[in-house]
Structure 1
Amino acid sequence: MLYNTQYTIRPLLKRRQLEKNCWKLSKMFLRCFGCQMGLQEKLEKCESTLSSIAASKPAATQKSSSTPTAAALAAASANGRSNIAAPAVKFSNDTERLQHINSIRKSPVGAQMKRVIHLLYETRQALTPEQINEACYVDMKANKDVFDNLRKNPKVNYDGQCFSYKSKHNLKDKIQLLHLIRKFPEGIAVIDLKDSYPTVMEDMQALKAVRQIWLLSNFDSQEDIAYPNDPRVPIKVDDDLKQLFRNIELPRDMIDIEKDLQKNGMKPATNTAKRRSAAQIQGISPKPKVKKSRREINSRTKLTNAHLPELFQKLIN
C-alpha cells in the first residue's frame, strides 16, 4: 500500500509545479505586452507633437534653436575652465641652467673676466652690464671686483655705460689694414693684428694673394711678420741677371771668405789662419776636468749610525 502511494503522489507534485510555472510565465508575458503597448502609444504621441512644432516654426528659428548661442558657449567654457584644476607650478623647471649660472658667479674673478672679454671679442659690440649678464651670466653689478678689473683691463674699453673690446690697433676693414702695414716698412707682427677685427686674417691672405704685402716667418720667434710691398717701386729683374746671380759660386774655405770680406771693406768676425797656425804649433789641448775633493768625515759630520761609533773609527783617524 505504501508503495502505491509513493508512485501516485510524485506525478501530482510534478503537475502542480508545472502549472505554477506556466502561470508565472503567463503573468510575465502579459506585463511585457502591456508595457510595450504603453511605450508604443507614448512614442506615437511624441512624434505627433514634434511634427506639429516643426510645422509651426520657420526654418531659421529651427536652426538657431538647434545650435547653441555664443554666450552659452562662452559660459560653458568659463565653467569648464573653472572646473579644470590648474597644473601645479614647480619652483624651477630649469634647474640645470640655474646651477650653471650659480657655478659661473661663484667662479674666480679671473675666470669671469675671461668670459666677459671673450664675449666682447666675439660680438665686437658695446654692451651694458645688464646685457652682459643676460649673455654670459656674469653679474658685474653684484661683483664689484669683476667690474673694477674689467674697467682697468687694457683689452676692454669702458665709456661710463657700456663695455667694448679694445684691440691694439683700431682697424675696421682691409683698407685700414693695408694702410697700417705700409707704415711699418721693417715689418709688423701678425700677432698684433689678429684681434683687430674678426676677418683680419682672411684680409691679410687676400692682400698677400694680390702681392700688396708679404707674410714671412721670423726664425727667432717663429712668428709671421707682415711686410708692405710698395707698388710705387716696381722692380723687374731680367732673366739673364737672375741666372748670373745663381751661377756665382761662393768660396767653401773660411780663409777665402775672410779675404773676400776684407776686399769689400768688411772686417771678418773670425781669424781662421791664426787659429789654424796655433793649432799646428801647440796642438789643441782639451780642458782638464776639475776633480772635486772628497769631503772628509769630522766631528761636525752628521752620521746616520751615530750609535755605532766603531764603524767610523778608521775614517775619523
Structure 2
Amino acid sequence: MSLQASLAKFKQQQEKCQSTLTNTPRAGASKPTQKVTPASTPSRTPSAPVKFSNDTERLQHINSIRKAPVGAQIKRVLDLLLETRQAFTPEQINEACYVDTNSNKAVFDSLRNNPKVNYDGRRFSYKSKHDLKDKNQLLVLIRKFPEGIAIIDLKDAYPTVMEDLQALKAAGQVWLLSNFDSQEDIAYPNDPRVPIKVDDDLKQLFRGIELPRDMVDIEKDLQKNGMKPATNTAKRRAMAQVHGIAPKSKPKKKQREISKRTKLTNAHLPELFQNLNVPDT
C-alpha cells in the first residue's frame, strides 16, 4: 500500500471517531423534557344567527308574489306595462315582476280581459283610452270635445301627457277647469279662430248682477229664460230626504243680549232702547 493511500485511510478513521464522540451525550446531561400542556376544553361560543342568502330571500319574495291574490298580481303587471310602455310575453313578465301567468289561469284570463291591457295572442301591452303620442295629437283630440274632456281619461295616454297639458294651458290653447258637480278637472279647447273681445261696460254689467243664493231659484231663472240647467237641486234634495240624509243647515248666530255694560253707540237716541228688556246686573 502506498503512503498516500495509508494517509487517506487514517484521515477517514479520525473523522469517523470524531463524529462518534460528537454524537455521544455527556455524562450527567439530562434529556430535554417536553412540557405537556393539558388539552384545553374548547369554550362554547354563542352561535351566530342564521342568515338567509340573497337567493333564499329572492325565492321567498317570488313565492309571496305568486301566492298573493289575483288582483295584486294583476296590479304588478299593469304597473310594469304602464311604466315601460312595451309589449311583454308571459315569460318576460315572469322575469320582470315574478308573476307567472302561464301557471295561473285566473291571472292570465283576468289580464287578457282587462280593459287596460291589449293582448295580440302572444304579447301583453298597456292600452290607454286614447291612443296619443305627443302634444299635437293631444291638442287635436281636445278640440274634438268642445264640451270638455275629463283629464283622468288623458293621464295615461303617454308618459309626458300632464306636462303637455300644462304647456298647452300656458300657451292659451286649452283651459283646465274643475267640474263643480263631479269635482274632476276638465280640459276645454280654446279655439283661436273665435277671438272675442268684451267691452268693460258689459263686464261691469255682468258682475253687477246679483244671483239668487239658492240653487233652486237659479235653476228656475234659467228655465224662465229658455235655458236648461245642468243641475237639478230639487230632485237631489228629494232623493236625499228619501235616503234619510238631512240637509245641511247653516248655524244660526247667537243674538247678543244688551246689558247695562253694553256700549251703546246711539246713546243720544234713548227712545230706541225703551222697549228693550235689559236684565238687572
Q: Which amino acid aligns with 1:231?
A: P
Q: CA deviation at 1:130?
A: 1.5
Partner of 1:192: 153
Structure 1 segments of 4+ aligned residues over 4 angstroms from their partners: 247-252, 260-266
Question: Partner residue of 1:81?
Answer: none
Query: 1:6 aligns to what?
Result: none
Match for 2:108: what amino acid? F
TM-score after normalising by structure 2 = 0.55
Structure 2 distance, partners of 1:251, 1:112, is 53
Q: Distance in 1 between matches of 2:177 and 2:93?
A: 39
Match of 2:119 among 147, 158, 167: 158
Counterpart for residue 167 of structure 1: 128
Pick from 108, 112, 116: which aligns with 1:147? Answer: 108
Amino acid at match of 1:115: R
Confirm or deny that 1:225 pairs with 2:153: no
Matching residue's letter, 1:181? I
Calculate the aligned-residue CA RMSD, in Å: 3.3
Q: 1:191 to 1:262 in 2, by over 3 A?
A: closer
TM-superposed CA distance for 1:263, in Å, is 9.1
Give the residue type in structure 1 aligned to 2:189.
Answer: P
SS in 1 for 2:142: helix
TM-score by length of 1: 0.50
Structure 2 residue ranges without an equivalent (≥5):
1-51, 228-232, 235-281
How many percent of aligned residue pairs carry the same amino acid? 85
Matched with 2:137 is 176
* Aligned-residue offset at 1:244: 4.1
Please point out which of 43, 47, 57 is paired with 1:96: 57
Alignment pair present for 1:246 and 2:207:
yes
Equivalent residue letter for 1:100: H
* Matches for 1:1-317 after TM superposition, within 5 Å: 93-247=54-208
Cα shift readout 1:108-144 (whole Å, capped 9, x = no counterpart): 2221111101110111111111111111001111212
Taking the aligned partners of 2:223 and 2:100, their CA distance within structure 1 comes to: 70
Question: Number of matched residues?
Answer: 176
CA, structure 1 residues 264+137, in 2 after alignment: closer, same or farther (shift >3 Å)? closer
Alpha-carbon deviations, 1:27-50, whole Å to 9, x = none? Answer: xxxxxxxxxxxxxxxxxxxxxxxx
CA 1:142 to 1:247, structure 2 compared with 1: closer, same or farther past 3 Å?
closer
Aligned partner of 2:194: which letter?
A: V
Q: Which has the larger radius of gyration?
A: 1
Q: CA deviation at 1:240?
A: 3.8
Taking the aligned partners of 2:109 and 2:222, their CA distance within structure 1 comes to: 60
In the TM superposition, residue 242 of structure 1 has moved relative to its aligned partner by 2.4
The superposition leaves residues 235-280 of structure 1 with CA deviations (integer Å, 9 ceiling, x where unpaired) of: 122334323443456699xxxx9xx9899679xx99xxxxxxxxxx
* Aligned-residue offset at 1:234: 0.7
| Distance in 1 (alpha carbons) for counterparts of 2:223 and 2:55 | 81
Call closer, same or farther: CA 1:265–1:107 in 2, change over 3 Å: closer
1:246 to 1:220, Cα distance in 2 relative to 1, 3 A = closer
Distance 1:181 1:141 in 2: 40
For structure 1, the 5+ residue unaligned runs are: 1-90, 271-317
User: How far has the Cα of 1:205 moved from its partner?
Assistant: 0.9
Counterpart residue type for residue 121 of structure 1:
L
